[in-house]
A and B are shown apart, each in its own frame.
Chain A
Amino acid sequence: MDRAGPQNAMKYLLIEDNAALAAALCNRMRLDGHVIDHALTLSEGSDFLLVGDYDLILLDIMLPDGDGRGFLERHRAAANTTPVIVLTARSEVSDRVSMLDLGADDYLTKPFDHSELQARCRAVMRRQSGSAQTVIRRGAAALDPVASVLTIGQVDTTLRNRELRLLELFMNAPGQIFSKSKLVDRLFSYDDTVTDNAIEVYVGRLRKHLEGSGVSISTHRGLGYRLDEE
């Protein structure tokens, strides 16, 4: 399997009435190489669900044609196992219990860190046993982002989250140079105290993990890092 685009693409359905937020979110998801459909209302969302096969549903709670909780209930009553992450802006207290009781797999309070959303999506997918897991392969290296495991030959290495996110980035775009500062922003929630040097530590570790896999990360002075397939 050798696609130009990312291989770990997941298919999301976003049900959110705020068009601006939805646009920003879709934008970001597509940048990460995921497929995402956007529904403005619950009924639109139901239509999408009838025809599309989604890995995960992102559901807003306050929608023009009803409460997301009712949708959740119907979704679970219809024995639909697609995991649901609720996006809520309401105070956590009142919603929390009912959300999880009604069958939401997780919830996230707006505004959220995109990395946190990704982390939660992964956690939910990991719990979802039996779901098809997408593995990214470059050379002899196979990365399972959901399980956070890198396999080279017969050896499995469990990656830490930042290692995983960094490697995922590289493996999805071989040959592309990533600048240090962009990598910092991806890994460390926009924290000024983190220096570009922090990236060197992680790149160093990835190089070690990737030994003998036929792929390597090269340094391009003044520009950044790149994943090369031999």
Chain B
Amino acid sequence: MRSEPPRPGSLRRRLTLTLIVGAAVLALLFFLVVRTYAQQVAQQSQDRILEASLTSLLDAAVVRDGQIELDVPYAAFAMLDTGADDRVFYAIHQGGELLTGYDNLTDPPFALTPSAEFSTRPFNGAEVRRATLTHSLPASPRPVLLTVSVAQTRDSLAGTLLAISANAAVFGTAFFLLAAGMALWTSASTLRPLGDLAKAVARRGPSDLRPVNRPVPSELSPLVTSLNSLMTRLSHSLTQSETFIAEAAHRVRTPLATVRSHAEATLLRVDKDENRQALRSMIRAIDESSRAAGQLLDHAMVTFRGDQLVKRDIDLVTICSEIVDRLTPVAEMMDLDLTLSSQGPVRIKGDTILIQNAVRNLVDNALKYSPPEKGVHITVSANPGATIAVTDQGGGFPEAQIGLLSQRFQRGDNVKDTVGSGLGLTIASDVAEAHGGRLELKNLNSGGACAILHL
């Protein structure tokens, strides 16, 4: 009966995935930005020191008698000490001629530059950062072009960068993990009201059609509103059909009761045999139609309740003894004994009203087909499986038809002259099936019929 709607993916998975991918992109971006920025800052600071070194070298240069004198200041190289094993190279050129330092560090020609020029290049098997500045020193007869280059390997810089990158990676990963965790939590908590709502609705019994009034987020309220209006309509139509059944029964049965009472009273006063015969047929017809009406209603009710079975803990012995109490006056009227035997309570999960209905129909049948001054016996037993057996001492079921009797409107060939609608066994059989059992019909060896409800 219950069908799963098709599922084009999960909201929760989609939400979680989006959030996690977003977090990953952000973490990567963070890492790259930090790394690039750190690189720039480190580069700038190295450049500034190199420039300062250049400047101090240049400041130390003086032209005396047309000759350049340069006393290399200690500070010019000391400031380049990084603590790491970085090497420092320098070259000083006058015009195009190397005065001192490493050849090949800088290549002429040199032009006057307003500020230091920086470049990164390989030198002596390592990558170095080189700064070059060319100054013009006043001298006679003409100014002298002095070019100073200082280069430094980048080991310390690379180390710093690596440390910063590692930190950035740690922070990036931590951010990602945190964000992923939050994504999971957020998607779970965002969707929780939806799940709670579904659970609350699913937990209800089939007859609970009250509107849902638990607080829900505003996004869910249109859903709840339409759910409630559906519930209202459903409950309305159920109430209507229940009222309709009750009303229909009232409308049909009251006039039947009137006619029957009149016919019965008349029968007492009438003497002529044909008239008596006619009145008898009338009463029998009334009985037949009222019984049929009752059983049709019962059958509709059994179908309705069976479709949405609410199982509760019930005791079959209690149910049967109530039925025995109820039907004893009827049995007495027919000089029949109605007895019940059981060994202690037999508890099952089921619907009291359905089982009452089934047993009442079986007992009705047994009473109807029993010869007077015999007994109808109900046996409730728990072993093997919960069963209620109703036996009589009548003519039994017709053997050839025994398999067909529980079908709707089927009646045995041997009971054509007894009032009946042919729905009693159908009702009992439907009730047994609704409880996952079956109705077994058999004839006893000692004579008489036996109907067993296996529940």
What is the interface of chain A, defined by CB distance below 8 A to chain B?
18, 20-21, 24-25, 27-28, 31, 62, 89-94, 106, 109-116, 119-120, 122-123, 160-162, 179, 181-182, 185, 189-193
Contacts and interface: CB of A to CB of B under 8 A. Distances in A.
Contact of A122 (B249, B254, B283, B329): B329
B417 A89 contact: no
A212 B262 CA distance: 40
A121 to B, nearest CB: 9
Given A120-B329, A123-B329, A161 B335 contact: yes
B301 interface: yes
B353 A31 contact: no
Given A20-B258, A161-B333, A190-B280, A110 B253 contact: yes
Nearest to B273: A181
A112 B257 contact: yes
Interface string B249-263: 110111011111110
A21 B254 contact: yes
Q: Is the interface of B mostly helix, strand, loop or mixed?
A: helix
A143 to B, nearest CB: 16
B286 interface: yes
Given A119-B329, A185-B267, A190-B283, A114 B297 contact: no
Given A90-B250, A185-B276, A190-B283, A110 B256 contact: yes
A213 to B, nearest CB: 22
A156 B330 CA distance: 24
Interface-central residue, B276, B372, B373, by most chain A CB under 10 Å: B372
B254 A110 contact: yes
B156 interface: no
Q: Across the A-B interface, give the 8 residue pairs with the lowest CB-CB distance, nearest first.
A: A24-B261, A111-B257, A110-B257, A89-B253, A21-B258, A119-B329, A89-B250, A110-B253
Interface in B269-298: 271, 273, 276, 280, 283-284, 286-287, 290, 294, 297-298
B283 A192 contact: no
A136 B42 CA distance: 127
A111 B293 CA distance: 11
B361 to A, nearest CB: 12
Contacts of A162: 333-335, 372
Given A24-B265, A27-B261, A93-B301, 8 more contacts: A31-B268, A62-B250, A91-B249, A92-B294, A162-B334, A185-B268, A185-B276, A193-B418
Given A190-B283, A192-B280, A193-B417, A28 B253 contact: no
A194 B329 CA distance: 21
A190 B261 contact: no
Nearest to A159: B335
20 contacts: A18-B258, A20-B258, A21-B254, A24-B264, A27-B261, A31-B265, A62-B250, A89-B249, A91-B245, A109-B253, A111-B261, A111-B286, A111-B290, A113-B333, A119-B329, A119-B332, A161-B332, A181-B276, A185-B276, A191-B418
A134 B253 CA distance: 33
Given A109-B253, A111-B286, A24 B262 contact: yes
B268 A89 contact: no
A153 B212 CA distance: 73
A216 B109 CA distance: 161
Contacts of A122: 329
B312 to A, nearest CB: 14
Interface in B227-251: 242, 245-246, 249-250
A93 B356 CA distance: 10
Contacts of A179: 271
